[in-house]
Amino acid sequence: MTSQANLIRTTYREAMRQAIREAMQRDPRVFLMGEDVGRYGGSFAVSKGLLEEFGPERIRDTPLSESAFVGAGIGAAMGGMRPIVEIMTVNFSLLALDQIMNNAAAIHYMSGGQFNIPLVIRMTTGAGRQLAAQHSHSLEGWYAHIPGIKVLTPATLEDARGMLWTALEDPDPVLIFEHGSLYNMEGDLAADAGAVDIDKAVVRRPGTDLSLITYGGTLDKAIRAAGDLAAMGIDAEVIDLRTLRPLDTATIVDSVTRTHRAIIIDEGWRSGSISAEITARIMEHAFYELDAPIERICTAEAPMPYAKHLEDAALPQPAAIIEAARKMVKGDG
Amino acid sequence: MAEFRMPALGADMDSGKIIEWRIKPGDKVKRGDIVALVDTDKATIEVEVFENGIVESIVVPEGETVAVGTALAMIRGEAEAVAPRAPSPTPAAVHKPAPPSPAPSRAPLRAEPPSPPIAIVPPPAQAPAPARRSLRVSPLAMRVAMDLGVNLLSVKGTGPDGAITRKDVEGAAQAAAQTAAPAAAQAQPPAPRPGEAIKVVSMPRAPAAGDRQAAMRKAIAAAMGRSKREIPHYYLGTQIDMSAAMEWLRAENLNRPVTNRLLYSALLLKAVAIAVRQIPEMNGYWVDGVFKSSAAIHVGVAISLRQGGLIAPAIHDVDKLSLDEIMVSLRELVKRVRAGILRSSEIADATLTVTSLGEQGVETVFGIIYPPQVALVGFGRIVERPWADKGMVGARPVMTATLAADHRVSDGHRGGLFLAAIDRILREPQKL
């Protein structure tokens, strides 16, 4: 237990920055590179002040070429460094998909185990800030398809603070998806908060009637929906997946085995999504525990609209979660 | 019009074969009449009808095997007029839209009245058959229904799109238990319990023995596989000095005609039933993540079959039976099991099981719980062993009693108390 005195008021952004700072201090092989991470302080201000603190050798601004600087990161990792590569948003990561998938994820295998790629790639994902179809998509579910990498989706201050170090310790490439709506999230964090595991899902709110399974930017929506559902007499459990690859099937199955109902909330598009994968795993492992068909709340299958009301309508919202949960638990009879 | 459907006769039955119809179209039937002979994996069973009425049609012919819940025959309620078609009429949809006629000439007796309230007296419990669609049952509800022996066709679904959920099944089981309980209390022990759809019958045309054996092997495999997969067993064992019990039995049997002599198995069953009153965690069912203890103590008795396989039918309310009554039940049961004739209540109702492999000469039994039960008591052979008591060593008849129990429900401490209670009871046989 942490006493009140040991808590500090912080934000997700500051927690992430603190994680980078600590990694730089602990390990001289760690450096950060990406577009505007240095003098501009990062597109989302995560690395603000780090250039002054660590100098241009370790906080490196790169040209606007995702393919080039992710490739450079892979090379640096092969050469013994521990690079943190920041990609501005997930949309732009597709320019580096070849490097991520065909090199970073595969070299360890293709080299017969001679080369590990201890590379960490951070990027912003998700919508909700009127950044439209250029900057708002949620493609982490896509990346979770690729063997050879890990896909992390920190949704809390603790995970923002603690996942990076564990990711850097990992001998293989790790992708960290930071939902853009979380950076300003404020809360109390233990002053001595440190590394956390990156392979377990966590029950953020225990419940008995159904499981809300989610991650990243929709975790808070699910928790708010669970609060409203409690007032309606529906006791929802909320699972924060934390890591999309490898997926913690055991925690999901354990929860559904207790609640017998599941709603998956995923900001990705529905077709071929991580929510589809989770659904399949529940079917494979807990079919006979199900008391209702699995439901999914996903983003409308369209490029993300710019207009606020359209963007809101396209995204998973607590109201939709509540409606689905009510129908599932109370039925229509 | 009601559909008479293939009933579920126990947790491991998913289909049954009509061996013989005892009714034909036009016959009048009343609740309790035996209407068909059905063969299941484990036994041949006479099936009773639940309601009064007239047989409209036979849907499934003799010799056919159908899934549980399949409509077997159509039975028209007594107050019902002859239906236009059966089975499963889809009323409005099938008929062409009749031209609007001012005066309906074919004054219908059926319940589609024009606005004036015609006095129609629907027979009780008659449900109008709406346009049929496949039954919606959640996988969990299906499983729970199997465990509780609930006929899903009698359950009203309240889940999404009217699906039957676990809650609906459990509600139906509870309602059934409440209506059955008072009646059951009056019933004499060996008599079938009211509310039972099935009665005992001999096997006139049993299927080939090989088929049944294979089917039984399959049923045992399913139940035991499930048990080992799902139930975290723990095992305890204790040696029981049987000298008092055997001595009492010998004295008691001296005064009895040979036909009325007691076997020590009766003592064991009674001792288990009395002991489980004190440790109720051993008696009941693990259903859907929750233990439901049973007030009634129905002891399943594992009986091996000569041709292989075994079956563990229940003797009901063993704790309330005298030793003589237990003997009668036991003899009956063994006889009928070996003849392949059983009551559905015997198959489905056991709340814990006793297995006694002593007659095969083994000393210790490590049992597998029969799900959804939570405990199995095993008794080995009674052997003479040196036994120290009060500083003296002597030869005593000693029996090893073991317990396999479900760790989700109870812990070793309670299991130990249970075995200790059995031990204590067997040392005072005169109180049985």
Transcribe A189-215 into DSSP letters: EETT-----SS--EEEE--SSEEEEE-
Tell me how close the Cα of B148 comes to any Cα of chain A, in angstroms.
Answer: 15
Cα gap B10→B27, rounded to integer Å = 29
pLDDT of residue B180: 59
CATH code where residue B55 lies? 2.40.50.100
Task: Collect all residues of chain B within an 8 Å Cβ-Cβ radius of residue A290.
Answer: 138-140
pLDDT of residue A59: 98
CATH code where residue B176 lies? 4.10.320
Among A291, A326, A328, A329, the strongest candidate for a mutation testing the B interface, having the largest count of B CBs within 10 A, is A291
For residue B143, the chain A residue with the least C-alpha distance is A288
Place of tokens 């204790």: B238
Task: Collect all residues of chain B within an 8 Å Cβ-Cβ radius of residue A260.
Answer: 138, 140, 166
Residue A102 φ/ψ, nearest 5 degrees: -85, -20
pLDDT of residue B47: 82
Tell me how close the Cα of B236 comes to any Cα of chain A, in angstroms.
Answer: 29
- The size of chain A, in residues, is 333
A328 contact B CB<8A: yes
Higher pLDDT pick, B158 / A186: A186
Residue numbers of the domain that contains B173: 139-181
Cα gap A309→A315, rounded to integer Å = 10
pLDDT of residue B431: 84
Tell me how close the Cα of B11 comes to any Cα of chain A, in angstroms.
Answer: 15
pLDDT of residue B79: 66
Tell which residue, A11, A13, A48, has the closest CA to residue A189: A11
Higher pLDDT pick, A34 / B30: A34
**pLDDT surpasses 70 at A158:** yes
Place of tokens 């590379």: A119
Residue B355 φ/ψ, nearest 5 degrees: -125, 135
**Contact between chains at B140 and A333 (C-beta distance less than 8 A):** no
Do the domain assignments include residue B31? yes
Tell which residue, A322, A284, A22, has the closest CA to residue A160: A22
Cα gap A209→A326, rounded to integer Å = 10
Cα gap B30→A81, rounded to integer Å = 86
Q: What percent of chain A has pLDDT over 70?
A: 98
**Contact between chains at B138 and A290 (C-beta distance less than 8 A):** yes
Q: Which residues of B225-241 are buried (b: 16+ CB within 10 A; e: fewer)?
A: eebeeebebebbbebbb
Of the candidates B139, B163, B165, the beta carbon closest to that of A288 is on: B139
Higher pLDDT pick, A320 / B43: A320
Interval A60-79 mean pLDDT? 98
CA dist list (Å): A117 to A62, A163, B210: 20, 18, 62
Higher pLDDT pick, A139 / B14: A139
- Which residues on neighbouring strands pair with residue A214, listed in sequence order? A240
CATH code where residue B396 lies? 3.30.559.10
**Torsion from C-alpha of A64, A66, A71, A72, nearest 10 degrees:** 30
Catalytic center residues of B: 407
Q: Tell whether the torsion through CA atoms of A271, A274, A275 and A281 is positive or negative.
A: positive
Interval A62-68 mean pLDDT? 97
**Contact between chains at A291 and B160 (C-beta distance less than 8 A):** no
* ipTM of predicted complex: 0.75
Of the candidates B156, B165, B289, the beta carbon closest to that of A292 is on: B165
Q: Which residues of A49-67 are buried (b: 16+ CB within 10 A; e: fewer)?
A: ebbeebeeebbbbbeeebe
In the CATH scheme, what is the homologous superfamily, with its name and number, of domain A10-190?
A: Thiamin diphosphate (ThDP)-binding fold, Pyr/PP domains (3.40.50.970)
For residue B169, the chain A residue with the least C-alpha distance is A291
Among B135, B136, B161, the strongest candidate for a mutation testing the A interface, having the largest count of A CBs within 10 A, is B161
**pLDDT digits 0-9 by tens, B174-203:** 887 776 554 444 433 333 343 333 333 333
Q: B70: how many CB neighbours lie within 10 A of its CB?
A: 17
pLDDT of residue A92: 96
Per CATH, A10-190 and A202-330 having the same topology is answered: yes
**pLDDT digits 0-9 by tens, A273-314:** 999 999 999 999 999 999 999 999 999 999 999 999 999 999
Which DSSP symbol is given to A86?
E
- Which residues of chain B are under the pLDDT cut of 70? 10-12, 42, 79-134, 179-212, 307, 339-345
pLDDT of residue B204: 36
Of the candidates B143, B160, B289, the beta carbon closest to that of A331 is on: B160
- The answer to whether residues B316 and B304 touch, using CB atoms and an 8 Å cutoff, is no
Of the candidates B140, B141, B158, the beta carbon closest to that of A333 is on: B158
Do B164 and B26 lie in a common domain? no
- Domains of chain B: total: 3
**pLDDT surpasses 50 at A245:** yes
Higher pLDDT pick, A162 / B71: A162
**pLDDT surpasses 90 at A105:** yes
Cα gap A3→B114, rounded to integer Å = 76
Cα gap A207→B23, rounded to integer Å = 53
Chain B contacts to A (CB-CB under 8 A): 138-143, 156-163, 165-167, 289
As a three-state string, the secondary structure of chain B is: CEEEECCCCCCCCCEEEEEEECCCCCCEECCCCEEEEEECCCCEEEEECCCCEEEEEECCCCCCEEECCCEEEEEECCCCCCCCCCCCCCHHHHCCCCCCCCCCCCCCCCCCCCCCCCCCCCCCCCCCCCCCCCCCECHHHHHHHHHHCCCHHHCCCCCHHHCECHHHHHHHHHHHHHHHHHHHHHCCCCCCCCCCCEECCCCCCCCCHHHHHHHHHHHHHHHHHHHHHHCCEEEEEEEEECHHHHHHHHHHHHCCCHHHCCCHHHHHHHHHHHHHHHCHHHCEEEECCEEEECCCCCEEECEECCCCCEECCEECCHHHCCHHHHHHHHHHHHHHHHHCECCHHHHHCCCEEEEECHHHCCCCCCCCCCCCECEEEEEEEEEEEEEEECCEEEEEEEEEEEEEEECCCCCHHHHHHHHHHHHHHHCCHHHC
- The answer to whether residues A293 and A275 touch, using CB atoms and an 8 Å cutoff, is no
Higher pLDDT pick, B288 / A67: A67
Domain boundaries, given as residue ranges, for chain A:
10-190, 202-330
pLDDT band at A47 (very low <50, low <70, confident <90, very high): very high
| CB neighbour class for B374 (10 Å; exposed up to 12, middle 13-18, buried from 19) | buried
Tell me how close the Cα of A197 comes to any Cα of chain B, in angstroms.
Answer: 29
CA dist list (Å): A42 to A20, A33, A82: 13, 10, 19
A260 contact B CB<8A: yes
- Which residues on neighbouring strands pair with residue B243, listed in sequence order? none
Do B32 and B153 lie in a common domain? no
**Contact between chains at A290 and B139 (C-beta distance less than 8 A):** yes
Q: Which CATH architecture has domain A202-330?
A: 3-Layer(aba) Sandwich (3.40)
For residue B156, the chain A residue with the least C-alpha distance is A333
Place of tokens 């529905």: A270
Cα gap B143→B372, rounded to integer Å = 11
**Contact between chains at A290 and B143 (C-beta distance less than 8 A):** no
- The answer to whether residues B41 and B55 touch, using CB atoms and an 8 Å cutoff, is no
Do B356 and B241 lie in a common domain? yes
Do the domain assignments include residue B395? yes
DSSP string, A217-241: GGHHHHHHHHHHHHHTT--EEEEE-
**Contact between chains at B140 and A332 (C-beta distance less than 8 A):** no
For residue A293, the chain B residue with the least C-alpha distance is B138
Do B42 and B157 lie in a common domain? no
- Which residues on neighbouring strands pair with residue B355, listed in sequence order? B378
A261 contact B CB<8A: no
**Contact between chains at B138 and A292 (C-beta distance less than 8 A):** yes
**Contact between chains at A292 and B161 (C-beta distance less than 8 A):** no
pLDDT of residue B118: 42
A257 contact B CB<8A: yes
Do B58 and B150 lie in a common domain? no
**Contact between chains at A292 and B163 (C-beta distance less than 8 A):** yes
Among B135, B136, B137, B140, the strongest candidate for a mutation testing the A interface, having the largest count of A CBs within 10 A, is B140
| CB neighbour class for B66 (10 Å; exposed up to 12, middle 13-18, buried from 19) | middle
- The answer to whether residues B256 and B373 touch, using CB atoms and an 8 Å cutoff, is no
Tell me how close the Cα of A286 comes to any Cα of chain B, in angstroms.
Answer: 10
pLDDT band at A3 (very low <50, low <70, confident <90, very high): low
Among B138, B152, B158, the strongest candidate for a mutation testing the A interface, having the largest count of A CBs within 10 A, is B138
Do the domain assignments include residue B97? no
Q: How far is CA A228 from the centre of its chain?
A: 25
Sequence-ordered list of residues with C-beta below 8 angstroms from that of B288, at least 6 positions apart, any chain: B140, B143, B144, B147, B166, B170
Task: Collect all residues of chain B within an 8 Å Cβ-Cβ radius of residue A292.
Answer: 138, 159-160, 163, 165
Do B233 and B146 lie in a common domain? no
pLDDT of residue B100: 45
Of the candidates B143, B162, B289, the beta carbon closest to that of A258 is on: B289
pLDDT of residue B150: 83
Task: Collect all residues of chain A within an 8 Å Cβ-Cβ radius of residue B138.
Answer: 260, 290-292
Tell which residue, B296, B307, B317, B357, has the closest CA to residue B337: B307
Catalytic center residues of A: 66, 135
